[in-house]
Structure 1
Amino acid sequence: MRWLAILFALVMMACSTKLGKDGHTDTTVHPKYLVKSEIDRIADTNREEVVNGLLLIADKLYKRNPKEWKKGGAASREAAVDKLKQRVYRNWPELSGMREGQAAALAFTEAYSGDRVAALVFGLLTMVDAAFEHKEEFYILDSLDERKLYNTARNMEVAIWKLGHDRDAAGELFLLSNELDPNNRNLSFEREFGRIMGLLDFMAKVVADRNGRGLSRLTHSVVSTIFLPVSFLK
């Protein structure tokens, strides 16, 4: 990113200060925003909101499934969520290096004995990382692929479907999420997943428009049970 370092240096020399309306120096604008487009700022915020939403879902899942963070060896629910936030592969040797769809699918596999919440959310988080090209901030020359964002949104639909339908040999859900008891109906998981899908779909549309491409929609029947690829799209 040598070009970016040079550009920052020029910006700092030429535009480090500006005059306010009263004639006094105003330094409230950070120079980095001079090398960010509006779409870059939207991408920054969108990514942060999506990641925080998934961490919130992880916390909610751990509250309903406390045995999972204990299986993972965490000292507390909060520690388990913090470990997910860091996303260090060696923290989950039971995942055998799996990420994205492979990791998420383990949460709904009978033979898997590890932390199912971690497997699911780690898989979803690494999909988001791939969709945003493993960057936390975006600048003018950075680019995104609307297909990766779109597939990641569809994978959130897959996750919520699996949470409500996939069961073990005894007929029990692998992970408890939404409470569907008519007397105690709670759809907070579905609402948060819906918010995340909306953010990703919006970002996919913005990127598709910038790239001059249309964004075709797939049918629910195609993506109802299988996690779609993200990293491997070219």
Structure 2
Amino acid sequence: MSPARHLRCVALVWAWMWAWVLVGCAATPAPKGEVTSAPTTAAELGQSDVNRMATLGMRANLDSLMSLADKLYRRNPREWRKGGATGREEALQRLRVAIEQRQPWPALQGRRDIAALALALSPDFAADRVAAFIAATADMVIVAHGGKTEFYLIDSLDAQSLYNAARNVEIAVWMLAQRRDASGQPLLLADEIGAQTRNLSFEREFGKVVARLDLLAAVSAEKYRRAVVSYVQNLLGGTLLQFLPVRAVVAP
């Protein structure tokens, strides 16, 4: 084969390979969504970086819990019917309002925090278990944050409470998967692993909540140590870490 023909063959092979690469890229689903920041407000002037992180984390956790409520209602439509709602959307709206306004959920009989969570996961609980479970979990998370959903300079977070909340979510997820009602059925249908189906979206969403709580707990535990480190850094920066002039001063 002549050198010229050899080069043409190589070029054709490369063109064919790149064509397949481009086809593969076109067939691959594009990433969904993008990172966006919330509009700046005057209230942020009263927030430290940790305050802002806690506020955003709380917002994300409540959104995750509402997403889980939606998923659970889809797999367990009998539950929203127990609450008298005309549809899943109405049931979700009622639940969101109750959580955001810190209203006690009627079926939980006045119980809050982990007491409410225990009742919602009781095998003989007869009311809307999805709403009770999500409302109780949200309440427990908010209680771990000192009963607040927005945080400012005057607020403080207890690292151990946040850590305990993360463990409580893990325990609740395990109980949801393992416990059975009086008829031997799971309390709620959630994750599914079968020969034809594999759905672990519930576990992933709960995992996000746990991860956010653990991260905030770790940051809160280091708050005072980092304050000392920052003070020393500023002190050193004011005296030792200053740039030196590079141009010689010429005497007149």
Q: TM-score, normalised by structure 1?
A: 0.73
Q: Give the Cα separation in 1 of the matches to 2:122 and 2:41.
A: 48
Map 1:45-194; keep pairs closer than 5 Å. Answer: 45-87=56-98, 92-194=105-207
Say which structure, 1 or 2, has more relative contact order (CA 8 Å, 6+ apart).
1
For residues 101 and 135 of structure 1, the distance between their equivalents in structure 2, rounded to whole angstroms, comes to 17
Q: 1:30 to 1:122 in 2, by over 3 A?
A: closer
1:177 partner SS:
coil
Looking at structure 1, the residues matched to 136 and 44 of structure 2 have their Cα atoms a distance apart, in angstroms, of 32
- Shift, 1:31, TM fit: 3.2
Q: CA deviation at 1:134?
A: 2.3
Residue 29 to residue 72, structure 1, CA distance change in 2 (3 Å): closer
Tell me if structure 1 keeps the 8 A contact 2:55–2:150: yes
- Mark the structure with the bigger radius of gyration: 2
Q: Distance in 2 between matches of 1:29 and 1:49?
A: 17
CA contact (8 A) 1:106 1:116 kept: no
Superposed displacement of residue 211, structure 1: 4.3
| Aligned amino acid, residue 128 of structure 1 | V
Q: Which runs of 5+ in 2 are unaligned?
A: 1-38, 227-252
How far does residue 34 in structure 1 lie from its aligned partner after superposition? 2.4
Q: Percent identity?
A: 44
Please name the residue that 1:38 is paired with. 49
Larger fraction in helix: 2
User: In 2, are the aligned partners of 1:107 and 1:174 still within 8 Å (CA)?
Assistant: no
Residue 232 of structure 1 is matched in structure 2 by none
Alignment length (residue pairs):
186
Secondary structure at the counterpart of residue 192 of structure 2: coil
Which structure 1 residue ranges, 5 or more long, are not aligned?
1-27, 214-234
- Once residues 57 and 102 of structure 2 are traced to their aligned partners in structure 1, the CA distance between those partners, rounded to angstroms, is 24
Aligned to 1:125, the other structure's residue is in SS state: helix
Q: Is contact 2:54–2:151 with CA below 8 Å preserved after alignment?
A: yes
Misfit runs of 4+, over 3 Å? 28-31, 88-92
TM-score under structure 2 length normalisation: 0.69
RMSD over aligned CA atoms reads 2.0
